[in-house]
Amino acid sequence: MTALVIFFVLAALAVLGALNLIVQRHPIHSALSLIVVMVALAALYLSMGADFVAAVQIIVYGGAIMVLFVFVIMLLNAGVEERTNASKLAGIAGIPLAVALLGFLAAAIARSPGSPEAASQTRALADTHSISMMLFSNFVYPFELTSFLILIAIIGALVLAQRERP
Amino acid sequence: MSSFLTANAALIITLVKIALILFIVLTVNAYLTWFERKVVAHMQSRWGPHRVGPHGLLQPLADGAKFLLKEDPTPAGVDKFTYFLAPLMALALSLTSIAIIPFGPQSLHIFGYEIKLQIADINIGILAIYAITALSVYGVALAGWSSNSKYPLLGGLRSSAQMISYELALTMSVVGVLLMAGSFDLRAIVAQQARHAQWGFFGWNLWPQILGACCFFIAAIAETNRVPFDLPEAESELVAGFHTEYASFKFAMFFIAEYTAMITVACLIAIMFLGGWLSPFPATPFWNFTHYLPSVILIPFGLWVIWDGIRYETIFGRLVLPGIGTAMIAIGAALIVFPAANEFIQGPFWLLSKILFFLFVYVWLRGTLPRFRYDQLMSFGWKLLLPVSIANVVITAFIMLLLRSGK
Amino acid sequence: MVPTNYYLILSAILFGLGVVGFVFKRDIITIFMSIELMLNAVNLAFVAFSQARHQADGQVFVLFVIVVAAAEAAVGLGIIILTARNRQSLNVEKVDLLKL
């Protein structure tokens, strides 16, 4: 019972944050809404028993990636978005269609019989120890590849940020 | 009524613990400011606050009253939502990280309920504290940006860049301790040091992890924006850095956030590297007489406070100081008379004395060292501290593998 | 006990909102943030399935997704800064030099 209440509160928080991201006109407010979504998702992971993933989500996503976004918004002095020339009719006709699509999707998911029992409060296998064992035995090749990926990203960012040679 | 209480006992106990620890932490914050001003002043051959109350002890109350009553202007052109959010975020995040710190090994048993000396005993303890530290960069960055002014923007950007850089060294320097303890839980880290309790002071994590301890201490000073890493809020260069445009109560929120972060870091160093609540004396029966150390410290100190208070210049001091001294002597005597209370108080006493020692070192550094230049600061963090902490991880892992394969 | 389907519906809603943001916003940084929102929705689905099947594979994959998102954010924001400098605007509709 309390698990359901916690789920609905956190889910509402995440959806409101996502809606706010779309509705706000200044990028910094959208960034703050995205941080709210990430923290709500991390709390959901915690309620599911995935504490390591929750901590990594906040440290890496919320504490590093979003800080990068906020820095870029500050440095580029991003202002409020300008008005667009898109047609209003498309917006008015599109929203009911989007809701209908979403409803079909949700109904299809809700009626699918494939999901096994409930997905929370189990601490069975997913503690830090088992994640690390799996990371270094089954997934060691992708793990080493991600280190290359990060190196490529660092070199790419350095090259992009160079000043033009006079 | 009583059935409601018993049904929700855990929740009510947690709420009471939260209220109590919030009160204690805020009071310690206030008196930490008094402590800092007195110690720095005496290092500079002057008295600090000594007029407001006996020995300036009521100065924090006066400061608090000032913060509450001063005018709180909002500059024009600020981004209102972010301007109000930034100090709130900084304060809330700093106070949250106190919830994960354990203050003693044993639990209180009142009316059959077990009350641990910790609010949240989660098994990713230190990782949760790092998550909160990672989010506290926003308080600084958003404060600087939303103030719509040059110096706060520069100070905020510099400070957040500094905090992110030193966060890496902070995280890596602890990995050696985690390898030795085998768990993220703070109680497990102290339990691992308790396995060598018969060596007392030499069984702490400080000695095998001396590199990690130094890296952690330096990175923690940079992370909390204290001297010598306080260029972003340097008073002579950047007016007041990211909190220039913040007035009374919002400035007080930043202030409390900074001091609470100091207290949290002191707690973490004490728990991870200095054995937490373990005594520096070996835990063998021969050294049992050291269990009376709290009383041995409290009773003479209380006598000195009474003697100083009797001859104090103001009448208020002549009433209050002997009262404080008598309370200290009463507590010390009670600890001697009730051995159960004495055993219970050993853990928290040693943890608090280590925390106090580190707070003193923080304040000592403030009174002594000049501050780094910004480029020196960044190159120190990336080119020296981060490689040293990574090397610490590699060396620790190597030695642990050797020791384990030797068996 | 919360059924897995609830988490999947939440993931679908967040993903849909990410798509809406990606299609309808004109500020390039907000578009990028909608991409991050979509990635987060996928992470939620992964963790929900990992808990439903009592395996840790889903959570390991979430770690990989987070790492890839970090690398992509670094390079992508570099590109955004360069584009903003070149076109003096953060509006994607201004990046139209290849238009006929």
Neighbors of chain B by Cβ distance (3+ pairs < 8 Å)? A
Q: Are C81 and A77 in contact (CB under 8 A)?
A: no
* Residue contact A67–B164, C-beta within 8 A: yes
Higher pLDDT, A18 or A118: A18
pLDDT tens digits for B144-179?
Answer: 888 888 878 888 888 889 999 999 999 999 999 999
pLDDT at B2 over 80: no
The per-residue pLDDT for A122 is 47
**Is A73 in the same domain as A132?**
no
pLDDT at B198 over 90: no
Pick from A57-71, B105-119, B296-310, B329-343: least confident:
B105-119
Q: How far is C80 from chain A (nearest CA, A)?
A: 9
Q: How far is C100 from chain A (nearest CA, A)?
A: 18
Instruction: Provide the percentage of residues in chain A whose pLDDT is more than 90.
Output: 46
The per-residue pLDDT for B52 is 86
pLDDT tens digits for B182-194?
Answer: 888 899 999 998 8
Instruction: Provide the percentage of residues in chain C whose pLDDT is more than 70.
Output: 100
The rounded distance, in Å, linking the Cα atoms of C89 and C84 is 5
For residue A7, the chain C residue with the least C-alpha distance is: C2
Higher pLDDT, B347 or B232: B347
* Residue contact A73–C7, C-beta within 8 A: no
* Residue contact B128–A128, C-beta within 8 A: no
Pick from A20-34, A81-95, B64-78, B368-382: least confident:
A81-95
Instruction: Provide the percentage of residues in chain C whose pLDDT is more than 90.
Output: 47
CB interface of B with A, residues 92-131, below 8 Å: 122-124, 127-128, 130-131
**Is A72 in the same domain as A7?**
yes
CB interface of C with A, residues 46-65, below 8 Å: 47-48, 50-57, 59-60, 62-64
When the pLDDT of each residue in chain B is averaged and rounded to a whole number, the result is 88
Q: Report if residue A53 sits inside a domain.
A: yes
pLDDT category of residue C30 using cuts at 50, 70 and 90: very high
pLDDT tens digits for B6-30?
Answer: 777 788 888 988 999 999 999 999 9
Contact of C72 with chain A, judged by CB distance below 8 Å, is answered with yes
The rounded distance, in Å, linking the Cα atoms of A126 and C58 is 9
Contact of A150 with chain B, judged by CB distance below 8 Å, is answered with no
Q: Which two tokens stand for residue B4?
A: 């409601």
- CATH number for the domain whose boundaries are C4-90: 1.10.287.3510
Contact of A142 with chain C, judged by CB distance below 8 Å, is answered with yes
Tally the domains of chain A.
Answer: 2
The per-residue pLDDT for A119 is 45
Instruction: Provide the percentage of residues in chain B whose pLDDT is more than 90.
Output: 40
Instruction: Provide the percentage of residues in chain B whose pLDDT is more than 70.
Output: 97
CATH number for the domain harbouring residue A29: 1.20.120.1200
When the pLDDT of each residue in chain A is averaged and rounded to a whole number, the result is 84
* Residue contact C71–A149, C-beta within 8 A: yes
A28-33 average pLDDT score: 94
Q: How far is B135 from chain A (nearest CA, A)?
A: 5
B206-233 average pLDDT score: 88
pLDDT category of residue B240 using cuts at 50, 70 and 90: low
Contact of A99 with chain C, judged by CB distance below 8 Å, is answered with no
Domain ranges of chain B: 65-283+338-406
The boundaries of the domain holding residue A149 are 127-166
pLDDT at B110 over 60: yes
Q: How far is A105 from chain B (nearest CA, A)?
A: 34
C57-72 average pLDDT score: 93
CA dist list (Å): A36 to A2, A40, B109, C30, C42? 22, 6, 39, 15, 17
pLDDT category of residue A121 using cuts at 50, 70 and 90: very low
Q: Report if residue A117 sits inside a domain.
A: no
- The single-letter DSSP state of residue B113 is E
CB interface of B with A, residues 158-187, below 8 Å: 160, 164, 167, 184
Higher pLDDT, A95 or A61: A61
**Is A68 in the same domain as A2?**
yes
The per-residue pLDDT for A117 is 53
Contact of A55 with chain B, judged by CB distance below 8 Å, is answered with yes
Domain ranges of chain C: 4-90
The rounded distance, in Å, linking the Cα atoms of A37 and A34 is 5
Preferred mutation among A25, A28, A76 to probe C, highest tally of C CBs within 10 A: A76
The per-residue pLDDT for A120 is 46
The rounded distance, in Å, linking the Cα atoms of C27 and B86 is 24
The rounded distance, in Å, linking the Cα atoms of B83 and B61 is 27
For residue C80, the chain A residue with the least C-alpha distance is: A72
- Listed residues A79, A106, A136: the one ending a domain: A79
B97-102 average pLDDT score: 90
